[in-house]
Amino acid sequence: MNNNRKKVLNGDMVRQSLKDSFIKLNPITMMKNPVMFVVEVGTFIVLLMTIFPHYFGTEDSISFNLTVFVVLLLTVLFANFAEALAEGRGKAQADSLKQSKKEIAANKVMDGGGIKRVPSTDLRKGDIVVVSQGEMIPGDGEVIAGLASVDESAITGESAPVIKEAGGDFSSVTGGTRVVSDQIKVRITSDPGESFIDRMISLVEGASRQKTPNEIALNTLLTVLTLIFLIVVVTLAPIAKYLGIELSIPVLISLLVCLIPTTIGGLLSAIGIAGMDRVTQFNVLAMSGKAVEAAGDINTMILDKTGTITFGNRMASQFIPVGSEPVGSVAQWAAISSVMDETPEGRSVLELMKKESLGFDESITSGAEFIEFKAETRMSGMDLKDGRKVRKGAVDAVRAWVQSQEGMIPSDLIAKGDAIATEGGTPLAVAVDSRIYGLIYLKDTVKPGMKERFDQLRKMGIKTIMCTGDNPLTAATIAREAGVDDFIAESKPEDKIAVIRREQADGKLVAMTGDGTNDAPALAQADVGLAMNSGTTSAKEAANMVDLDSDPSKIIEVVAIGKQLLMTRGALTTFSISNDIAKYFAIIPAMFTAAIPSMNALNIMGLGSPMSAILSALIFNALIIPLLIPLAMKGVAYKPMSSTKLLQRNILIYGLGGVIVPFIGIKLIDMIVHLWI
């Protein structure tokens, strides 16, 4: 499917788009695009004058009228083709997705504990299913027991299987993917018709695509310009008649079509659809075009440290005792606190025990109650059957917990914790009741190339803020190494919301990534919230984008795509309006030179005759639309730079180019048309 996504054109798609171009001639459909609707109305009027010349007294200009009709019809068809082609790519992706959406047999766990084979369409939110090696996952859900390798190539295009496990960050599974090894128990989180594949099909087909605020504003501007030029052209006829100049209706329609912004009017819808398509090609499911556009205007980016800036595989690498405690005691209580901890950090503690050949009495944990990690407490552990409480967590959180029980704090605890933090590691303190035994040294590594990527964001004018639960020393070290602009240490969920609201209060647009339930409020608050597909259901529902590859750093690509979408729309609008200058110098002299010879001074292109000048401008106006379709679909190349430099670059290339290109194009077309006439 990934290959299908990356195909820009194929024969079937082009043929279907050509067919759709004629279907879209339906006036009800065309009315959604006021600019091209005006062109279609003009085309119909010229057609009537060509078919019934005796009614309009145009017997002597049938060939000219026929030529104008053909060129105008091609103009409308080219605009329809651009939109149909953009929609066709989405439909091709949807067809590919539909192939993976087949009815699957599911092993549903019944109330009595038995297993019943049922169709996947019978599953509802909350049902529990068992999926074994070689079987398809029947619906979106969360792994509640077990660990398995899952082939997600049907969704992400990535051939390498990924590990899905209960209790970790990678507990979310998608319907239509296949279990490669082992067995998992999954709780279904969506009803039929509401799965990610269903939502992707709906979005990429573009059937329910809503225009974004920016697109609506531009559409309004184009409509106003069209009305202004329509009024100008309508009033031009009586003024010309008063001066003794007879302007035919086809000539006036030609002038109107050349002056209104037909180029951007014909490509505007295609640009928006193609922008959504580019996001989908990056395996990002955007809930609306508004989210993609907002990404292009982002001022501030909130990033989690773990998994985004760093690899996120914080593994226990060393047990460090404090006070007079032996290493064995630290290791023993660290292991006891981690026996039921399914997080990667918890499992790494037990793996380090084996690696160091250290043992502990696991029977101590018999009948114990596991205390899960919470962002508010920043600790986890066990309440043992004999009344003792074992905790591991952030140094300051464990220290406060011990102090609340009137325990003593070892004198070297802070110094050893700071030493770990200064090296960029994360220290976890281990305590039993009122006694701290030592520290677990968790190592994490900054992803290569992150510093350069943040430099790019800085050039775009985007401020980066790293949020982490680490202490200030660790956070400062990672922030300095990664090159972020600011950081928030010992961050809680409410801290993320607070910083987002603070930035938004200053008039800034904010983006953030997240995957956990505690990230959901901040994802909902952010202007662009990118949730990981591997994350919790609540996170994905709160966000307006979901990354199917679960790569948190992809927010950087999303921002670039958003900026590219805005740039493409702005560049082609600039080019379209600039075109009118050349068309003005082509048509106006041609219309008035016969009656006002001095107007010939405006014929700076030296066009052959009035008729060839009008037809040349009209033909160029039609041809420029299909010539710009590849640019509209691919997007204008984006380079990180300030808004001022981007504006200057666009004006230079597309503004000046929009003036020069038509002069050259119209002149070349006129040389051919003049010979033909």
pLDDT at 102: 60
Q: Is 353 annotated to bind ligand?
A: no
As a whole number of angstroms, the distance between CA 275 and CA 561 comes to 7
As a whole number of angstroms, the distance between CA 330 and CA 334 comes to 6
pLDDT tens digits for 120-148? 888 888 899 999 988 888 888 888 888 88
Q: Is 377 annotated to bind ligand?
A: yes
Per-residue tokens: 562 = 């958003």
Q: Is 127 annotated to bind ligand?
A: no
As a whole number of angstroms, the distance between CA 542 and CA 425 comes to 31
- Give one DSSP letter per residue of 272-301, joined into a string: HHHHHHHHHHTTEEES-HHHHHHHHT--EE
Q: Is 373 annotated to bind ligand?
A: yes
Q: How far is CA 576 from CA 255, 425, 495, 592, 662, in A?
A: 15, 55, 46, 25, 10
As a whole number of angstroms, the distance between CA 184 and CA 149 comes to 10
DSSP strand pairing (528-532 vs 115-119): unpaired
Contact between residue 205 and residue 89 where contact means Cβ atoms under 8 Å apart: no
Give the count of beta carbons closer than 10 Å to the beta carbon of residue 530: 29
Q: Is 519 annotated to bind ligand?
A: yes
Q: Which CATH architecture has domain 124-191?
A: Distorted Sandwich (2.70)
- Give one DSSP letter per residue of 166-229, joined into a string: TTSS--EE-TT-EEEEEEEEEEE-S-TT-SHHHHHHHHHHTTTPPPPHHHHHHHHHHHHHHHHH
Q: How many CA atoms lie within 13 A of 421 on its CB side?
A: 24
Nearest to 448 by CA among 301, 303, 559, 553: 553
Q: Which CATH number fits domain 314-443: 3.30.70.580, 3.40.50.300, 3.10.20.30, 3.40.1110.10?
A: 3.40.1110.10
- Beta bridge partners, 430, equal 392, 438
As a whole number of angstroms, the distance between CA 333 and CA 657 comes to 71
As a whole number of angstroms, the distance between CA 523 and CA 144 comes to 24
pLDDT tens digits for 571-611? 898 898 888 888 887 787 877 776 677 777 777 777 777 78
Percent of the chain with pLDDT over 90: 21
Q: How many CA atoms lie within 13 A of 524 on its CB side?
A: 12
Give the count of beta carbons closer than 10 Å to the beta carbon of residue 146: 17
Query: What's the residue count for the chain?
Result: 677
As a whole number of angstroms, the distance between CA 219 and CA 378 comes to 51
Q: Is 379 annotated to bind ligand?
A: yes
Q: Is 294 annotated to bind ligand?
A: no
pLDDT at 35: 92
As a whole number of angstroms, the distance between CA 94 and CA 404 comes to 58
383 as an active site residue: the answer is: no
pLDDT at 95: 63
pLDDT at 90: 61
pTM, two decimal places = 0.66
Which of the 8 DSSP states describes residue 527? Answer: S
299-309+447-548: in CATH 3.40.50.1000: yes
Helix (H, G, I), strand (E, B) or coil at 254: helix
The rounded average pLDDT for each run of 10 residues, N- to C-terminus, in the chain (677 residues) is 46 84 92 92 94 80 90 94 78 60 79 86 89 87 86 63 72 81 87 69 54 77 90 86 81 89 87 77 76 84 78 81 91 91 84 87 88 83 92 92 90 91 86 93 80 83 85 84 88 84 90 78 88 74 81 79 86 88 80 72 77 88 92 81 76 88 90 79
Catalytic pick among 304, 470, 527, 580: 304
Contact between residue 79 and residue 21 where contact means Cβ atoms under 8 Å apart: no
**Which contiguous run of DSSP H or E holds residue 605?**
none
As a whole number of angstroms, the distance between CA 431 and CA 391 comes to 5
CA 487 to chain centre: 25
Q: Is 59 annotated to bind ligand?
A: no
Residue ranges covered by each domain of the chain: 11-93+204-280+559-674, 124-191, 299-309+447-548, 314-443
Q: Is 149 annotated to bind ligand?
A: no
Contact between residue 283 and residue 549 where contact means Cβ atoms under 8 Å apart: yes
Residues 6+ apart with CB under 8 A from 32: none
